[in-house]
Copies of this chain bind each other. A is one copy, B any other.
């Protein structure tokens, strides 16, 4: 551990844990390219650690692609998995050489058209990946609705591809962020096979399979391990192989799984108001990183105080009524008490704004956090 002292809020990131999470997933899914979803935490140091391990990267925007290129990531190590993009974003990504691009509608295929035919140079020719809808019922944040084509839409999409000679390079799905049941992957793989079969009826031959993200982190409930999820996915791949289909490119896009468990968000109580409820005001809130709390996340917590516990509504420091997190049992709070939020490395710092003059957590990298409770000694 280091000897420096840090003001809160601060997001400690465990370098060894980033690396280990990557290796665990690689072990669970050996034939897959791992493309880290940088939206979960795009800090250059995380990208650098993963790059050294051989990771590839998943993006949604030109800014994310250009950030990676500037950090020395090669274009063919980047996938653009945003199914709906500005026409200009498609063109610029291809100019950079980022060819794997998702879509989920005929409307998006229209934008691909100029970049799909033989007239486009091979290095800049789009490799369209159809994002299909799969059940998201085990996920805390279902992604279906906004994204994905369901089975009814496949015929029109495939007909359009056939008519306009746009190849279907691959199929992709997302079981939803923080997917806590293994059945999510099982049914998604069945649906993917069905999609492959229907695509073939239109003369299309997808060879890339991208199983998205959704691998969960410990938020205090029972979750499947990467190994358990990998086993289900690999079982399907073997079945496909028996049927004569072996994908040429397999991709997985973990975000939270890599960066989530590696992060501990340290905050302090700035004030308490004991009214009908007890309100504990922290120096980090919804607008400074804890955005997912408004959508239901609750983090495992550690406390510096040994006081008797009480129920308190945790809220952020701003004057905004939305800046409320969740009710929890915490030691009777007083200003200066420290609270550590575990599994908070993903989807926290990246959401921070500077609303009301409160800044998001500074990020501090530590070689290894043996026991999160040791972090209390690093706080001012």
Contact = CB atoms under 8 A, between A and B. Distances in A.
Interface of A: 39, 42, 59-65, 67, 81-87, 89, 104-108, 111, 141-143, 145-147, 149-150, 153, 176-177, 268, 270-275, 277, 279, 281, 283, 287, 291, 294-295, 315, 317-324, 335-336, 350-359
Specify how many copies of this chain sit in the oligomer.
Answer: 2
A271 B85 contact: yes
A145 B153 CA distance: 47
Contact of A321 (B106, B111, B141, B268): B141
A356 B275 contact: no
A357 B111 contact: no
A111 B358 CA distance: 20
28 contacts: A39-B318, A39-B357, A42-B357, A59-B357, A60-B358, A61-B318, A63-B354, A63-B357, A63-B358, A64-B356, A64-B357, A65-B357, A81-B319, A84-B270, A84-B272, A86-B270, A86-B335, A87-B335, A87-B336, A105-B272, A107-B273, A108-B271, A108-B273, A142-B321, A145-B277, A146-B324, A287-B351, A353-B353
Q: Which of A295, A352, A357 has the most CB of B within 10 A?
A: A357
A336 B84 CA distance: 13
A105 B281 CA distance: 12
B323 A146 contact: yes
A279 B145 CA distance: 9
Contact of A60 (B86, B111, B357, B359): B357
Contacts of A324: 145-146
A61 B321 contact: no
A96 to B, nearest CB: 14
Nearest to A65: B357
A80 to B, nearest CB: 10
Contacts of A356: 39, 60-61, 64, 350
A347 to B, nearest CB: 8
Contacts of A59: 357
Nearest to A139: B321
B320 A104 contact: no
Closest 3 pairs (CB-CB, A-B)? A63-B357, A61-B357, A84-B271
Nearest to A318: B60
Q: Which of A86, A89, A149, A274 has the most CB of B within 10 A?
A: A86
B358 A61 contact: yes
Contact of A355 (B273, B350, B358): B350
